[in-house]
Chains A and B, each alone.
Chain A
Amino acid sequence: MKEFEDDLRRKLKILSDIIWDGKGRKSTLDQWLDNFTEDDFKVNILYLLTHFIYFNKIQVTEMLKSLYRDLYRYPILSKIRIENGNSFDSKIIEPLFNVELSKTRFVGLGGAGESATHLLYPFGHINDIHPDYLINYKEIKDILKEDKKVDNFIFIDDLAGSGTQAKKYLKDLLTELKIEYPNISFTYMVLICTTKALNTLEELGIFKEVKAVYLLDDSFKAFDDKSRFYANENNPSFIDLEATKKYSGEYGKPLYNFIWEVKEGLDTVKANSMADRDKLGFKRGELLLGFHHNTPSNTLPIIWFNEKELPWIPIFPRFNKVYKKPAV
C-alpha cells in the first residue's frame, strides 16, 4: 500500500506542478488529508484526488476558443460553403459570416459576481468579438426593441451540472420572449455539461440547441456504477468505490448541512435532508472537477468546502458565495 500511495503522491506532484497552477502542494495536501481521521483510508482519498479534473486558465481559454470556433462559427461556415457552390474563397465566405455574426448576441448568464458573467469578457477578448455583441441576459429585451436585425442569442456558461441555474434565470424570461418574438433563436453553449443537465435544459423547450465543449456522461460521476475513475482493472483491492462513497458522504454531509442551516438559514430538519441530498455535491453532482476561477458546488464538498466557521481545510477552495444580504 505504501508503494501505491507513493505513486499517487508522485502523480499529484506532477499534477500540481504542471496543471493545477501549483495548487495542492505538499503542505496543503497534507493539511487537507488531516481532515480525514482514518489513516488507512487516506490512500483512497488520495486516489480520488488524483482523478480531480482541473481546468486551468490555458484550458479555459482554449475551451472558450472552441466554444466560439467549433460550436458557433463552424456550422455557419459550412452552411455558407454549401450554399455557395462549395466555395473556398474567404472573400465570399467571411462577409457572409459577418452578417450572421452581426445578428448574434452572446449573453452572460447570472448576476454580477457569478462565474458565467466573468467568462463573457474573456470569451469576447479571446475570440475577437466586438464588445457590443456581449450582453447580460437582462439586456435582451432592450436589444430586441432597439435592433430588429438581431435574431440569435447565445448563452455562455462554464458549467451546467444540474441545469438549475440556467433554468432559474432563463425559463420565464425566454418563454415570455418566445411568444413575443417567435423567430428569435436561443442557444445555450457551455464549456461543460452533464447529460442530466443537457436533458433538463432540452426539456425546457426554450433553446434551439444546447451545446457543450465537453459533455459528461454518468461515468464522470465519482461513484457511479460506470465511474471512469474506478474503471481501471489494475487497481489494488484496497481501492474501494463503495467505501469511499460512504466515507465521502459522511464527511460531506455536515459540511453541506452547515451551508443549508447556517448560511442559508433552513430549519434543522430541512437542512438535514438537503445535506443528505448534497453531501456528494450539489443535487447529487458527484463531480470531481474545478476551474481555476472556482470550484463548482456539484463537485464533492470535501474538495471545496471553505467556510471559516468550520475547521475544514479544502484542497480546491470554493470562493464563498455571499448567501444573504447584510441587514441594513
Chain B
Amino acid sequence: MNENPFDITKAVHYTNQQLLDYWVNLPGDSGFEEMINPKSQMPMMIVGGKGSGKTHVLKYYSFSLQKLRYLENNTQSVSNQISEKGYLGLYMRAGNLNAKKFKGKIHTEEAWQAIFEYHLDLFISQISLKVFVDLIKGEPHLLKDQSSICEKIISLFDKWPEDKIPKTLEELLNCFISFQKQIDYKVNNSSLLGLPIEGLDILVTGAKLILGIPKILKEEFVFLKNVQFTYLIDEFENFTETQQKFINTLIREIEAPVSIKIGTRPYGIKTLETFSGGESIRKGAEYEEVDIDGIFRNRPSDYSNFIKQICLKRVSESGFLIKSNEALRNSLEIFDYDNLQKKLLTLKRIGHRSELERKLPIEELKEIQIIFDNLNYNSNFLYEKASYLIFYRSWKKAKSEFEFKKESELISKSLHNFIQGRELKKNKHRKILEKFKYDFIDQLSVENNLPPVYWGLDNFIRMSAGIPRLVLQIMKYTFSWANYNEERPFAMTSKISINSQREGLLQASDWFIKDAQIPGKFGVTVNQSIHRIGQYLQTLRYSNTPPECSISSFRIDKTILSPQNQKTLKFLTEYSYLIKTSDRQDKNLERNDNTYQIIGILASIWGLSLSQRGVPNLNIDLAKLIFDDDDETGKQFKLFINEIDSKYNAPFLKKKSKPNKGKTTETPSNQTKLL
C-alpha cells in the first residue's frame, strides 16, 4: 500500500521541519509576508476558519522556524539574519496555558484575573527568555555578561525573593518557571480541597514583563537595534472573555519594540473591550484585521494555484512522479458529458421519462406516444431536459385545461429551430439551456442513480470555499478509497475513479460536519438548520420546475430573525457551513438582504450547485421553519417541504396539505439522498 500523501491534514501535527518543507507561499502580488507583515508595529487580528492555515502561517514567522530557515542559509549567523529581517517571532498558543483553571466559586472574578495576569506575564515572558537562551547558546559572543541584564529584568518586579539571584538568562528563566509552578500548585491545591488560595505573592503586575523584557533585551543586544518583537498568539478563542479583555488592553498599550499578532477563528473574538474604562479597541486605528478566508475567496485563481502547489508538494514528497498542475489534475477522472450521454442511452428506463409517464393524466396510449415523440430527443438529453422543463412550466401555468399534446408540438418546433439555429434570439430552448445546463446534468445523474458530477481537483478546490484543509481532506479520503479499490492513485498511467472520488467526498463532508463540534445543544440546532436549508434548496433544484437555475444559495433579511435565529445564522457562517457571498453591492438586493451559499463540500450532500446564480428568498415564515428548533417546527417543516414538492412538481396541486393526514410526513418523491 502506498503512503497517503494527505494523511496529515493539520499543521499542528507537523514537526517544525515539516512545516518548513511543506510551506507554500500564496501566489500572486501579495503573499503571506505582505499580508502578515511581521515587522509592522500595528497589532493584528488574523481571522481564519478551522483549517484556513493560520497556524501554519503564524508558526512560519515564529523564532523556531526563523532559526531553521536561517540555519539553512549558512552564509550569515542567525542573529544577523534576524537583524536583517527586522523581527523576532514569539509564538504561543493560548490553549497551552490551560487558562480555564483560573475561575471558581472560591474567589471573586477580580482575584482570579489578578492571578491569571501574573501567570500569563510569567508564561509569555518565558518564551522570549527561552529564545535568547537558545540564541546565546548558538552564538555565545552575543553577550558576555548576562548578570546585568538579569538585574534589569528583576527590577521590573514589584518584589523579588531575596534568596534567588540569577546570574544568567537560563537561571532567570528557571526562576520564572518556578514562580509559575508555585501559582499552579496553589491554584490546584485550592481546587482539590475546596479551600481559598493562601500565601500566593503576586510579584509583578500589569504585564510589565511582556512589555518590559523586550525593551531591556534591545538595549543589551546590538543586533536587535532595528528588530521588533512580535508576539504571535494563536488560538485566541481559548481565552475567556476577561482574559481576552486583558490581551485587548495589551493591544491598546503596546509600543515599540513590541507588537502583537493574534490568530483566531471567526467566532473566537468574545470581546473587543479593554480594561481602560471598558472602551473597545478600534479596527483600523488600533489594530488591523486580516481575514484569511476572505482573501482566499476573493483571489480564486491565486488560491487555486496555491492549493495545487500544496498538493504537488505532498504528492511528490510521498515519492510520486507527478510534477505539474496539469499532471495533478489529470490524475483524477473528470466529468465528461459524452460519457453521461452514452451511459443514459444504455438504460432501460430513463428517470424523467418514466416520471412523466406516471404523471400524465392521459388514458389514450396513442396520444401519450405522440407527446413523448415530441419531447424526447435521444441525440442530446440536455436538449430533451430543456423540452421537459418548458413542458412542465406551461403545465404549471395553465389556468384551465392544459393541452398536453398541443404544447408538446410547440416544444418540438422550438427544439427544431434551436438545432437548426433559426430564430435563436427568441428561442426558448436556447434561453433555458444557457441557464439550466448544469442543473440538467445534475438532475440526469441523480434521477438515474448515477454519481453526480462533483469530481476533479478543480471542483474540490471550489468546494473548499477558501479553506485549504478541506481540499486536503477530500484528497486524503479519495486517495484512501482509490488505494482500497486498487486504482494505483498518482501512478502516471492511472486515474482515480469517479467512484473513489465520490466516496472520498462523502467521507470528507461527513467529517466536515462532525469536525465543527459546536458545543452544547446549540450544535444540534445549527446542524438541524443546515440540513433544512439543504433539503429546501434540494427540493427546489430537483423539482420539475426549478424556480431558479444553479441553486445553492438563499437570501435573507437578517433583521427579521429572532435574536436566537440570528445567532444560529451567525454560527452557520462562522463555522463555514454557509459562506456569505453578498459583501459587494448587489443591486438586486434589498437594503438589509444578505446572500448565503452552502459551502461546496456540503452542497454535494444535497446535490446543490457549486456556482451561485439563482438565489431564492427566505421570508420570515420560512426562516422560522428553518431555524426554530422545537419539535412542532420540525413537523411543520416536513409539511412545508411536502407543500413545496406539490407546488413545483406535476401535477401541481394547489391545495395545501393538511397536517396529520395520510402521507404528508413521507419524504417527497424527488427527495433522493445524493452521492
Chain A: residues with CB nearer than 8 A to chain B?
Answer: 2-3, 10, 13, 16-17, 22, 25-27
* Interface presence of B503 (CB below 8 A): yes
Task: Specify which chain B residues have a CB less than 8 angstroms from the CB of A3 in the assembled complex.
Answer: 673
Q: A3-B673, A13-B481, A17-B480 are in contact. Are A25 and B503 (CB under 8 A)?
A: no
User: In whole angstroms, what is the CA distance A59 to B1 when docked?
Assistant: 21
Contact of A26 among B1, B486, B507 (CB under 8 A): B486
A25 contacts B484, C-beta separation under 8 Å: yes
Q: In angstroms, how far is the closest chain A Cβ from the Cβ of B667?
A: 13
Task: Specify which chain B residues have a CB less than 8 angstroms from the CB of A22 in the assembled complex.
Answer: 1
* Interface presence of B566 (CB below 8 A): no
Contact of A25 among B449, B486, B507, B673 (CB under 8 A): B486
Task: Specify which chain B residues have a CB less than 8 angstroms from the CB of A16 in the assembled complex.
Answer: 484
Can you report 8 residue pairs joining A to B where beta carbons are below 8 Å apart?
A10-B507, A13-B481, A16-B484, A17-B480, A25-B484, A25-B486, A26-B484, A27-B486
8 nearest CB pairs, A to B? A26-B485, A13-B484, A27-B486, A25-B484, A26-B484, A26-B486, A22-B1, A25-B486
- Whose C-beta in chain B lies nearest to the C-beta of A25? B484
Given contacts A25-B484, A25-B485, A26-B486, 14 further A-B pairs with CB under 8 A are: A2-B449, A3-B673, A10-B503, A10-B507, A13-B481, A13-B484, A16-B484, A17-B480, A17-B484, A22-B1, A25-B486, A26-B484, A26-B485, A27-B486
User: In whole angstroms, what is the CA distance A17 to B477 when docked?
Assistant: 12
Task: Specify which chain A residues have a CB less than 8 angstroms from the CB of B485 in the assembled complex.
Answer: 25-26
- Residue from the set A2, A3, A25 with the largest chain B CB neighbour count within 10 Å: A25
Task: Specify which chain B residues have a CB less than 8 angstroms from the CB of A17 in the assembled complex.
Answer: 480, 484
Chain B: residues with CB nearer than 8 A to chain A?
Answer: 1, 449, 480-481, 484-486, 503, 507, 673
Q: In angstroms, how far is the closest chain B Cβ from the Cβ of A32?
A: 15
Q: In angstroms, how far is the closest chain B Cβ from the Cβ of A81?
A: 30
User: In whole angstroms, what is the CA distance A25 to B487 when docked?
Assistant: 11
Task: Specify which chain A residues have a CB less than 8 angstroms from the CB of B481 in the assembled complex.
Answer: 13
Task: Specify which chain B residues have a CB less than 8 angstroms from the CB of A27 in the assembled complex.
Answer: 486
Q: In angstroms, how far is the closest chain A Cβ from the Cβ of B63?
A: 38
Task: Specify which chain A residues have a CB less than 8 angstroms from the CB of B449 in the assembled complex.
Answer: 2
Q: In angstroms, how far is the closest chain B Cβ from the Cβ of A147?
A: 48
- Whose C-beta in chain B lies nearest to the C-beta of A22? B1
- Whose C-beta in chain A lies nearest to the C-beta of B500? A26
Q: In angstroms, how far is the closest chain A Cβ from the Cβ of B675?
A: 9
- Residue from the set A17, A26, A27 with the largest chain B CB neighbour count within 10 Å: A26
Task: Specify which chain A residues have a CB less than 8 angstroms from the CB of B673 in the assembled complex.
Answer: 3
User: In whole angstroms, what is the CA distance A26 to B507 when docked?
Assistant: 17
Which secondary structure characterizes the binding site on chain A?
helix
Q: In angstroms, how far is the closest chain B Cβ from the Cβ of A2?
A: 8
- Whose C-beta in chain B lies nearest to the C-beta of A29? B484
User: In whole angstroms, what is the CA distance A17 to B4 when docked?
Assistant: 12
Task: Specify which chain B residues have a CB less than 8 angstroms from the CB of A10 in the assembled complex.
Answer: 503, 507
Q: In angstroms, how far is the closest chain B Cβ from the Cβ of A230?
A: 26
User: In whole angstroms, what is the CA distance A109 to B503 when docked?
Assistant: 46
User: In whole angstroms, what is the CA distance A13 to B504 when docked?
Assistant: 12
- Whose C-beta in chain B lies nearest to the C-beta of A9? B503
Q: In angstroms, how far is the closest chain A Cβ from the Cβ of B510?
A: 10
User: In whole angstroms, what is the CA distance A317 to B272 when docked?
Assistant: 65
User: In whole angstroms, what is the CA distance A22 to B1 when docked?
Assistant: 8
Q: In angstroms, how far is the closest chain B Cβ from the Cβ of A282?
A: 32
User: In whole angstroms, what is the CA distance A10 to B486 when docked?
Assistant: 15
Q: In angstroms, how far is the closest chain A Cβ from the Cβ of B536?
A: 22
Q: In angstroms, how far is the closest chain B Cβ from the Cβ of A29?
A: 9
User: In whole angstroms, what is the CA distance A25 to B503 when docked?
Assistant: 15
User: In whole angstroms, what is the CA distance A16 to B449 when docked?
Assistant: 27
- Whose C-beta in chain A lies nearest to the C-beta of B673? A3
- Whose C-beta in chain A lies nearest to the C-beta of B503? A10
Q: In angstroms, how far is the closest chain A Cβ from the Cβ of B671?
A: 13
- Whose C-beta in chain A lies nearest to the C-beta of B1? A22
- Whose C-beta in chain A lies nearest to the C-beta of B510? A10
User: In whole angstroms, what is the CA distance A126 to B480 when docked?
Assistant: 33
User: In whole angstroms, what is the CA distance A26 to B487 when docked?
Assistant: 10
- Whose C-beta in chain B lies nearest to the C-beta of A17? B484
- Residue from the set B480, B484, B485, B507 with the largest chain A CB neighbour count within 10 Å: B484
User: In whole angstroms, what is the CA distance A2 to B503 when docked?
Assistant: 14
Task: Specify which chain B residues have a CB less than 8 angstroms from the CB of A26 in the assembled complex.
Answer: 484-486
Q: In angstroms, how far is the closest chain A Cβ from the Cβ of B479?
A: 12
User: In whole angstroms, what is the CA distance A3 to B506 when docked?
Assistant: 13
- Whose C-beta in chain A lies nearest to the C-beta of B507? A10
Task: Specify which chain A residues have a CB less than 8 angstroms from the CB of B507 in the assembled complex.
Answer: 10
- Whose C-beta in chain B lies nearest to the C-beta of A3? B673
Task: Specify which chain B residues have a CB less than 8 angstroms from the CB of A2 in the assembled complex.
Answer: 449
- Whose C-beta in chain A lies nearest to the C-beta of B481? A13
Q: In angstroms, how far is the closest chain B Cβ from the Cβ of A175?
A: 51
User: In whole angstroms, what is the CA distance A27 to B480 when docked?
Assistant: 15
User: In whole angstroms, what is the CA distance A11 to B1 when docked?
Assistant: 19
Q: In angstroms, how far is the closest chain A Cβ from the Cβ of B1?
A: 6
User: In whole angstroms, what is the CA distance A2 to B451 when docked?
Assistant: 13
Q: In angstroms, how far is the closest chain A Cβ from the Cβ of B576?
A: 25
Q: In angstroms, how far is the closest chain A Cβ from the Cβ of B595?
A: 33
User: In whole angstroms, what is the CA distance A2 to B484 when docked?
Assistant: 20
User: In whole angstroms, what is the CA distance A71 to B485 when docked?
Assistant: 42
Task: Specify which chain B residues have a CB less than 8 angstroms from the CB of A25 in the assembled complex.
Answer: 484-486
- Whose C-beta in chain A lies nearest to the C-beta of B675? A6
User: In whole angstroms, what is the CA distance A13 to B507 when docked?
Assistant: 12
Q: In angstroms, how far is the closest chain A Cβ from the Cβ of B506?
A: 9
User: In whole angstroms, what is the CA distance A10 to B510 when docked?
Assistant: 13
User: In whole angstroms, what is the CA distance A26 to B673 when docked?
Assistant: 24
Q: In angstroms, how far is the closest chain A Cβ from the Cβ of B352?
A: 20
User: In whole angstroms, what is the CA distance A288 to B344 when docked?
Assistant: 42
Q: In angstroms, how far is the closest chain B Cβ from the Cβ of A19?
A: 13
- Whose C-beta in chain B lies nearest to the C-beta of A12? B484
Task: Specify which chain A residues have a CB less than 8 angstroms from the CB of B503 in the assembled complex.
Answer: 10
Q: In angstroms, how far is the closest chain B Cβ from the Cβ of A89?
A: 30
User: In whole angstroms, what is the CA distance A2 to B450 when docked?
Assistant: 13
User: In whole angstroms, what is the CA distance A299 to B449 when docked?
Assistant: 37
User: In whole angstroms, what is the CA distance A16 to B486 when docked?
Assistant: 13
User: In whole angstroms, what is the CA distance A10 to B504 when docked?
Assistant: 11
User: In whole angstroms, what is the CA distance A216 to B480 when docked?
Assistant: 34
Q: In angstroms, how far is the closest chain A Cβ from the Cβ of B324?
A: 29
User: In whole angstroms, what is the CA distance A2 to B480 when docked?
Assistant: 22
Q: In angstroms, how far is the closest chain B Cβ from the Cβ of A292?
A: 16
Q: In angstroms, how far is the closest chain A Cβ from the Cβ of B226?
A: 53
User: In whole angstroms, what is the CA distance A26 to B484 when docked?
Assistant: 6
Q: In angstroms, how far is the closest chain B Cβ from the Cβ of A79?
A: 37
User: In whole angstroms, what is the CA distance A2 to B675 when docked?
Assistant: 12
User: In whole angstroms, what is the CA distance A26 to B1 when docked?
Assistant: 13
Task: Specify which chain A residues have a CB less than 8 angstroms from the CB of B486 in the assembled complex.
Answer: 25-27
Q: In angstroms, how far is the closest chain A Cβ from the Cβ of B616?
A: 28
User: In whole angstroms, what is the CA distance A10 to B502 when docked?
Assistant: 12
Q: In angstroms, how far is the closest chain A Cβ from the Cβ of B480?
A: 7
User: In whole angstroms, what is the CA distance A16 to B1 when docked?
Assistant: 12
Task: Specify which chain B residues have a CB less than 8 angstroms from the CB of A13 in the assembled complex.
Answer: 481, 484
Task: Specify which chain A residues have a CB less than 8 angstroms from the CB of B1 in the assembled complex.
Answer: 22
- Whose C-beta in chain B lies nearest to the C-beta of A28? B486
Task: Specify which chain A residues have a CB less than 8 angstroms from the CB of B484 in the assembled complex.
Answer: 13, 16-17, 25-26
- Whose C-beta in chain A lies nearest to the C-beta of B484? A13
Q: In angstroms, how far is the closest chain A Cβ from the Cβ of B206?
A: 51
Q: In angstroms, how far is the closest chain B Cβ from the Cβ of A9?
A: 9
User: In whole angstroms, what is the CA distance A22 to B483 when docked?
Assistant: 10
User: In whole angstroms, what is the CA distance A3 to B1 when docked?
Assistant: 28
Q: In angstroms, how far is the closest chain B Cβ from the Cβ of A271?
A: 38
Q: In angstroms, how far is the closest chain A Cβ from the Cβ of B499?
A: 10
Q: In angstroms, how far is the closest chain A Cβ from the Cβ of B380?
A: 29
Q: In angstroms, how far is the closest chain B Cβ from the Cβ of A57?
A: 16
User: In whole angstroms, what is the CA distance A58 to B288 when docked?
Assistant: 53
User: In whole angstroms, what is the CA distance A17 to B1 when docked?
Assistant: 10
User: In whole angstroms, what is the CA distance A138 to B113 when docked?
Assistant: 75
User: In whole angstroms, what is the CA distance A144 to B206 when docked?
Assistant: 81
User: In whole angstroms, what is the CA distance A26 to B480 when docked?
Assistant: 12
User: In whole angstroms, what is the CA distance A16 to B485 when docked?
Assistant: 11
User: In whole angstroms, what is the CA distance A27 to B673 when docked?
Assistant: 27
Q: In angstroms, how far is the closest chain A Cβ from the Cβ of B481?
A: 7
